[in-house]
Amino acid sequence: MCGRFVVASAGSELVGVLRVDLVGDDLPRPSFNVAPTDRVAIVLDSAKTDPPTRRLEAARWGLVPAWAKSPSLGVRAINARSEAAAHKPMFRRALDARRAVVPATGYYEWRNVDGTKMPYFIHPADRSPLLMAGLYEWWQDATRPDDDPARWLLSFTILTCSATDGLAAIHDRMPLFLDPGHVDAWLDVAADDVGDLLDAAVAAAPAVATGVEAYPVDRAVGNVRNDSPHLIDPVGA
């Protein structure tokens, strides 16, 4: 699974990389220790315009479906298994119509080393953005006035798949990495066969994974209050 990740670049720097048309207000600042319920910038295609508008928007990590009684439900949905997303009430509607790209610098995973959990930082070796397949939802807080911007909450989850040989030694799951060439297809709001789309993304993920590297980092990353560039400095295994 993916329980912490890094967004070291400002969201606006992704505009050219992902051909964003519209940048939302109040994008989060860079973070070296993104934790569940934190806000980060995600990319989505809005079907309300023709052609669809590609947007960079701030969203809370932990998917809150429209039918949820409280946003607290999102804490249980920071990840969605790609094999089961189409069958889970929490994720299936978002998979059909609300797919997103979650850009990151890299992510953290913990490995058991001689009885101690050692965090590893996993990131593209060429320092390009790591693109993770996600799903998003809009949740409405009916207790707030119609004109209150806080009435609507945008949230997301990160899809995961089986880890490749190189990463499986750290953890048996990894985020569903997206090849940059598959981004347009993944975000396509008019896609008919979402099952084929998901299968294609899963099939392509191992090739993307060959371009990542992993190394151990300080256990300070385990404390959500720590947020420093030094968190991704390598330490001895």
pLDDT at residue 237, rounded to an integer: 52
Residue 172 φ/ψ region, left for φ over 0, alpha for ψ in the -120 to 50 degree band, beta for the rest: alpha
Q: Measure the CA–CA gap between 171 and 35, rounded to whole angstroms.
A: 18
| Residue carrying the six token digits 């099939």 | 203
Using CA atoms, how far residue 109 sits from 70, 170, 199, 230, in Å, is: 29, 7, 24, 16
Q: What is the mean pLDDT of residues 134-139?
A: 96
Q: What is the mean pLDDT of residues 134-150?
A: 80
pLDDT at residue 14, rounded to an integer: 77
Please report which confidence band the pLDDT of residue 149 belongs to, taking 50, 70 and 90 as the band edges: low
Average pLDDT, the chain: 92
pLDDT at residue 74, rounded to an integer: 87
> Among 205, 122, 111, 221, which residue's Cα sits nearest to residue 159?
205
Radius of gyration over alpha carbons of the chain, in Å? 17
pLDDT at residue 148, rounded to an integer: 65
Please report which confidence band the pLDDT of residue 145 belongs to, taking 50, 70 and 90 as the band edges: low
Residues 151-203 have pLDDT tens digits of: 789 999 999 999 998 899 999 999 999 999 999 999 999 898 999 999 999 99
Residues 49-84 have pLDDT tens digits of: 888 899 999 999 999 999 999 888 888 899 999 999
With 60 as the cut, is the pLDDT of residue 21 above it? yes
Question: What percentage of residues in the chain have a pLDDT greater than 90?
Answer: 76
Q: Which has more pLDDT, 147 or 75?
A: 75
Residues 97-116 have pLDDT tens digits of: 999 999 999 999 999 888 88
With 90 as the cut, is the pLDDT of residue 26 above it? no
pLDDT at residue 192, rounded to an integer: 86
Question: What percentage of residues in the chain have a pLDDT greater than 70?
Answer: 97
Domains recognised in the chain with CATH numbers:
4-232 (3.90.1680.10)
